[in-house]
Structure 1
Amino acid sequence: MSDNLLSSHQQVDDKFQTLLHNASAARAISQIVEGTIGPKGLDVMMVDRFGDVVISNDGVTILKFMEVNHPAARMIINTAQAQQEEVGDGTTTTTIIAGALVAEGCSYVLKGVPVTRVIEGINYARDKAVELIRQQTIKIDDIGDELLFNVACIAGRGQKDLASLILQGAKLVGKEKLCTRDYRMADAVWARELAENEVFMGTVINREPVNDEMPRRLENPVILVIDDALQPVDAEHEVIKTEAGFKYYIKAREEYEKNLHRICDAGINVVVVDRSVDDIAEQIFTERGVMVFSRVASLEIDNLCRHTGAKKVKKAVLKRDAETIRSYAGRAKRVEVDEKLKHTCFYEGSGEKWATIIVGASTEEVVEERERIAKDAASALQAALRGGVVPGGGAIEVWLAQHMEEYAKNLEGAASFGVLCFKEALLKPFYCLAANAGFNPLEKMGEVWACQNRKKNSRLTFDSDTGKIIDAVEKGIVDPAPVKIHALKAASEVATAILRINTVIRMKDDALKKTDMKKEQRGEF
């Protein structure tokens, strides 16, 4: 397509120029998080236009707060977020490998290797790498295995107090619960300023009762969860001006009040509502000694229902008899309001096992970071229990890279260059680990490569303090296998998608509007 066929606001990039731009963007994103990886990794400070500061070395947090406009860079950020959603850890590794894959792939394409052959080699190498990781995976059968604590400690950036809390919570819910696909242990973590570290069987809602006249503690509570607003029929102003309309309004209000008393008569003494609670309900429930919570977050409600056995109901259910209403209720051993932390704890519910891990923080500035660290530790522990562990400290990446070199030699055709591309990308996290620890990356890689090759041992790496060669598993340096596998798959997927881009064209304004409307409908805005 010649340039004179395009309107003035449209742009087309030459295919090599497009590739270079995308590789540059991918490399820039990778460089931002490279300094944070490993036990010696440092933090990144992010400042908004108002001067508010966020300090973190969590890869996905850094990427999420970045102001990024380049489409290829946004693709990598979205991949890191998908890694976080799926396994809860490994976002930095995913970003670094993806950036390296794009950069290495670009270099081979510029040398004349067809893009399709590079992608073919990357996909081949990815499948082989995943297979090799599974062969090296160490299964964990006992929740008391010391390796689980080590996994939590590494993901928790060496904070042993947080790792201990996570392990206590894991023991409370048990292995069977942790291995359930729809249970996310990270959701059990709460960080609070000036709180004491605590683990208990139960769940929390970040609300206090709607007024101070209501009870602050109840034994053996019967809990009703209303997925609706608690208020009478809203009569329009013009309707109640007529006699018939006013009578209807009065009758509906009386019926509403009867329904509220029926809840109390059913033995319900805790009511949790996800929307508003009107003055009538607040007054009646206060007089009857019922605890009421309004505008509770949907995730908190879901957790409460699962732990207490409560079933969410609509307001229409309140018209039924007391026995039917009571059948929807959940139960717990105790409910208690924490005046200091301004939330409410439900202890030992009659439904699913559910542990809550409260993490204390000394100041408001570090609360969010402490919570992120604890959530990463919880996700890593759960992933390790589900899928086992592999040698950490970059050991498994170096070992995989050696095999990639062998595969490339035996693979015919230009696809071998894609395998070599994958090999170099695998080594990138190791280089960053060594550099962050203060060592020469190439020198350390050469030492580890030689030792692994000589001893036929995939567990060998270097000590980040002394630089000496060690057995990672013996030293307790392990990573969850599912995190490594998903990181390789995610990084390969986004890298090949970026390498496939041949041309970038600016869309028409009306097309952009349609795209934005679709995103809004999907809830992406």
Structure 2
Amino acid sequence: MSQTPIGSKASEHDERLSALYSNTTAVRAIASAVEGTIGPKGLDTMLVDAAGNVIITNDGVTILHRMEVVHPAAKMLINVASAQQEEIGDGTTTATLLAAALLQEGVGQVERGVPVTRVIEGVQQGVKYALERIKSRARALDGLDREVLYQVAMVAGREHRDIAELVTEAAHLTGDEKLRSREFRLADCVMAAVGAESEVFQGLVIDKQRMSPQMPMRVTDARVLIVDDELEAEELDSEALGTEAGFLLYRQYKEQFRANLERLLSSGVAAVFTDRGVSPVAEEVLGEAGVLIVQRVTSKDLRKIAEHTGARPIKRTGLTKGAEELHKFLGLAEVIYEDERMENIRIVGGQGKPMATILVGASTEEVVGERLRIAKDAASSVQAAVRGGIVPGGGAIELWASREVEKMRETVRGMTGFGVEAVARALRRPMTQIVQNAGFNPLEKVEEVNVAQIERGSDALAVDCDDGQVVDMMERCIFDPTSVKLHALQAAGEVTVAIMRIHTIIRMKELSPDEA
């Protein structure tokens, strides 16, 4: 009778899970690149490329996007961070840490003999329940509470007081209705420039200059025209121009275009912004009349100008309209001027929707780049807080949710409960990493907070990273937007399930053009 060699079952088990182990190792490596940045005591990361260019940052999504990655599972995790950034604008490091922790805990259950499918079911149930419980603890904002918004900006802005003040002021200038709009992103209102003085004002900054130095640098009470097209006469192809009829039509187009420009001036236009180029004729006619022209403005900026000034974009064919009809397409701004030192155009006091611009300055390119990222994170978090309320920061809400999931685990039958257990353990990871980055023993401190939360019936207790004491995050004004937490956990759960479902990794062949 043959005998099974000792250890063969173990090796067979390892071979069946080789894809899972490989993917888990790759994800863990990615998480380790950003875990040291989380929390008030988190440190920076230096990114260096082959040319010696350097980026020093604390921003998780920047680190993940710029690091060299080849493993497909690692790329999946980076895509999670990108989705978090795109949807919320902050919380990428939290999403990455949670995903790595969920996967690690899930693999741990598989190694105990729990079937992968059961672990996946448990992870899905546990994440869903945790999301419900965290959402139930959201504190809605009472209007645009300046102090709360400032504290949210301070946490997301890594305690840069000047940036927190700018973002808070910008939120108030923008208004509650605009901040709650799904189409508006306060982070898009943040700009940065070397040598600029940090400020916030109600208006826009367009990274362009006037078309000609002979045009006015400043126009006031300015009627604004937006041409979502090129500002020149209709063109004929060379073949048509070669005929007498074609040449006459060409002259007719030119004369009509000049008449359109004269009509435009009679409507009181003082500033023109175009999507494409401007012909010499238009430059001459409008420039001599004192009109400020800015050409080749991006579509995104044209939309902002239209929204802020109340202008309605028009095609060049629309310039044939009468002066009275054209008037309906014009916007209005209190002042439009070129900042020669910063080489940009400012539009202030538009009659349309209020819009604020946050300008962040610094002394060097490296520093201004990081301050821009910090300000965008702060702006995103403030807007998220307005939309979805806040929860305690410092990992407090995740630790509280961990216990809630543990209670729910007791109601789950069969091996699915082990997947739920993995979620409960993973939810302790954010506080564990924050405490570790602060220089304290995470095993000791997290358990101390856990006991304190149970005794006081609180979801807001966490560790003071300065002295290691257990404190109330809400009383210390350390908040996180609810949506940042919810989206991070949901994204982490989805990528964990996706990776755990992978049974085999196969290299694809290159397809020929006929096969593609």
TM-score by length of 1: 0.92
Equivalent in the alignment of 1:325: 326
Going from structure 1 to structure 2, the CA distance change for 1:512 and 1:384 (only over 3 Å counts) comes to farther
CA contact (8 A) 2:31 2:97 kept: yes
Aligned amino acid, residue 208 of structure 2:
R
The 5 Å alignment of 1:149-228 reads 149-228=150-229
Q: Deviations over 1:119-163 (max 9, x none)?
A: 111111112111211222222113134222111101000001111
Alpha-carbon distance between aligned partners in 2 of 1:429 and 1:145, rounded to the nearest angstrom: 27
CA contact (8 A) 1:140 1:385 kept: yes
Aligned amino acid, residue 68 of structure 2:
E
Which SS does the other structure have where 1:358 is aligned?
Answer: strand
Give structure 1 stretches of 5+ with no counterpart.
1-12, 516-525
- Is structure 2 residue 127 aligned with structure 1 residue 119? no
Equivalent in the alignment of 2:482: 481
Alpha-carbon distance between aligned partners in 2 of 1:239 and 1:134, rounded to the nearest angstrom: 67
The 5 Å alignment of 1:412-491 reads 412-491=413-492
CA contact (8 A) 2:23 2:73 kept: yes
Equivalent in the alignment of 2:376: 375
CA contact (8 A) 1:141 1:385 kept: no
Aligned amino acid, residue 323 of structure 1:
E
Range 256-265 or range 367-376, more displaced: 256-265
Going from structure 1 to structure 2, the CA distance change for 1:142 and 1:513 (only over 3 Å counts) comes to farther
- Is structure 2 residue 403 aligned with structure 1 residue 402? yes
Going from structure 1 to structure 2, the CA distance change for 1:379 and 1:458 (only over 3 Å counts) comes to same
Going from structure 1 to structure 2, the CA distance change for 1:27 and 1:310 (only over 3 Å counts) comes to same
CA contact (8 A) 2:35 2:433 kept: yes
CA contact (8 A) 2:146 2:168 kept: no
Aligned amino acid, residue 30 of structure 2:
I
The 5 Å alignment of 1:203-282 reads 203-282=204-283
Q: Deviations over 1:212-248 (max 9, x none)?
A: 1111111111111111122233333444343333333
CA contact (8 A) 1:204 1:304 kept: no
Equivalent in the alignment of 1:58: 59
Aligned amino acid, residue 272 of structure 2:
V
CA contact (8 A) 1:335 1:344 kept: yes
Aligned amino acid, residue 351 of structure 1:
G
- Deviation of 1:65 (Å): 1.3
- Deviation of 1:109 (Å): 2.1
CA contact (8 A) 1:16 1:110 kept: no
Equivalent in the alignment of 1:307: 308
Going from structure 1 to structure 2, the CA distance change for 1:122 and 1:320 (only over 3 Å counts) comes to same
Alpha-carbon distance between aligned partners in 2 of 1:514 and 1:36, rounded to the nearest angstrom: 46
CA contact (8 A) 2:393 2:478 kept: yes
Range 175-184 or range 427-436, more displaced: 175-184
Alpha-carbon distance between aligned partners in 1 of 2:285 and 2:425, rounded to the nearest angstrom: 69
CA contact (8 A) 1:204 1:300 kept: no
Equivalent in the alignment of 1:35: 36
Alpha-carbon distance between aligned partners in 2 of 1:198 and 1:219, rounded to the nearest angstrom: 21
- Number of residue pairs matched by the alignment: 503
Which SS does the other structure have where 1:509 is aligned?
Answer: coil
Which SS does the other structure have where 1:275 is aligned?
Answer: coil
Going from structure 1 to structure 2, the CA distance change for 1:169 and 1:52 (only over 3 Å counts) comes to same
Which SS does the other structure have where 1:501 is aligned?
Answer: coil
Going from structure 1 to structure 2, the CA distance change for 1:249 and 1:75 (only over 3 Å counts) comes to same
Equivalent in the alignment of 1:8: none
Range 86-95 or range 131-140, more displaced: 131-140
Alpha-carbon distance between aligned partners in 1 of 2:268 and 2:415, rounded to the nearest angstrom: 74
Alpha-carbon distance between aligned partners in 2 of 1:502 and 1:277, rounded to the nearest angstrom: 59
Which SS does the other structure have where 1:493 is aligned?
Answer: helix
Alpha-carbon distance between aligned partners in 1 of 2:256 and 2:505, rounded to the nearest angstrom: 63
CA contact (8 A) 1:35 1:436 kept: yes
- Deviation of 1:454 (Å): 2.0
Which SS does the other structure have where 1:55 is aligned?
Answer: strand
Equivalent in the alignment of 1:5: none
Give structure 2 stretches of 5+ with no counterpart.
1-13
CA contact (8 A) 1:37 1:433 kept: yes
Range 335-344 or range 404-413, more displaced: 404-413
Equivalent in the alignment of 1:10: none
Going from structure 1 to structure 2, the CA distance change for 1:296 and 1:15 (only over 3 Å counts) comes to farther
- Deviation of 1:15 (Å): 4.6
Alpha-carbon distance between aligned partners in 1 of 2:146 and 2:27, rounded to the nearest angstrom: 39
Alpha-carbon distance between aligned partners in 2 of 1:276 and 1:256, rounded to the nearest angstrom: 15
Which SS does the other structure have where 1:410 is aligned?
Answer: coil
Alpha-carbon distance between aligned partners in 1 of 2:114 and 2:324, rounded to the nearest angstrom: 74
Moved over 4 A (4+): 511-515
Equivalent in the alignment of 1:288: 289
Q: Deviations over 1:457-516 (max 9, x none)?
A: 11111110100111111111111111111111111111111111122222332289988x
Range 403-412 or range 34-43, more displaced: 403-412
Alpha-carbon distance between aligned partners in 2 of 1:272 and 1:353, rounded to the nearest angstrom: 19
- Deviation of 1:116 (Å): 1.8
Range 106-115 or range 195-204, more displaced: 106-115
Q: Deviations over 1:228-282 (max 9, x none)?
A: 1222333334443433333332222222222222222221111101122222222
Range 432-441 or range 253-262, more displaced: 253-262
Equivalent in the alignment of 2:7: none
TM-score by length of 2: 0.94
Which SS does the other structure have where 2:511 is aligned?
Answer: helix
